[in-house]
Amino acid sequence: MTDSLNPHYLSRKVHSLLGVVPVGAFLLFHLWENSMSRHGGAYFNEHVVRKIEEMLNYKVAIELALGAAILFHGIYGVVIWWQGKTNVGRYRYGANVRYLLQRITAFTTFAFILWHVWMTVFAGELDPRVQADFFGHMQRMFTSPGMVVLYMLGILGATYHLANGLWLAAITWGLTTTPRAQRLFRDFCAIVFAATTFLGFHDLWGFNHRFF
């Protein structure tokens, strides 16, 4: 059986693609969207939350599609992790460390997404006060230093997983076939990691200036 017809080969391709689009693309959009928190509660509730509510006809379909993509990416990621090996304990090369961190952040990011959805989406569905003032809900959450730290760690894990995943996807799809191309794209992905992490921390600052 050729590689192109191998189910595992095809699944890895799909896993890689879904990690970039739609999951990675949505993460970037979500971070940018939440950066509007810097304008304050009235602006955020009107121009971000209300705009999302206006998409109600498409919201469920988008959430189901995105959820399915995240589930496949996460579940098949476990398969890849189970079949893979790392010798980071013996040889602390950069590639092995990145490999280990990619696996660790896969689990932490998946857990963070579930927790974040529960604290925001389901909270909004269950509590009318959250629907009326979502910015206030987030602001109250971040009065707790522990919550701020948890979100900072969650953002760090997610942005690292995305940035390193982009580098791996470029190899998987044959876009960076030489050591030089991989090195240059790795540097670009490091910039992506720094920029997205800054944006994520900026979101937290917008909801509560107290800790930043």
> Tens-digit pLDDT profile for the chain (212 aa)?
455 557 778 888 999 999 999 999 999 999 999 999 999 999 999 999 888 877 766 777 888 899 999 999 988 988 887 876 655 555 556 788 888 899 999 999 999 999 999 998 888 777 888 888 999 999 999 999 999 999 999 999 999 999 999 999 999 899 999 999 999 999 999 999 999 999 999 999 999 875 54
| Structure confidence by residue, pLDDT tens digits, 51-106 | 887 776 677 788 889 999 999 998 898 888 787 665 555 555 678 888 889 999 99
CB-CB contact of 44 with 36 (8 Å): yes
What contacts 127, CB < 8 A, 6 or more positions away? 137
Rounded Cα distance between 17 and 144, Å, is: 37
Rounded Cα distance between 18 and 66, Å, is: 9
DSSP codes joined into one string, 44-75: HIIIIIHHHHHTHHHHHHHHHHHHHHHHHHHH
pLDDT value at residue 3: 58
pLDDT value at residue 209: 73
Rounded Cα distance between 180 and 95, Å, is: 15
- Is the model's pTM score more than 0.85? yes
Class of domain 3-211: mainly alpha
Structure-token pair, residue 169? 């996807």
The two most distant CA atoms of the chain are separated, in Å, by 59
Q: At what angle do helices 134-141 and 179-207 cross, to 10 degrees?
A: 100
Rounded Cα distance between 172 and 93, Å, is: 20
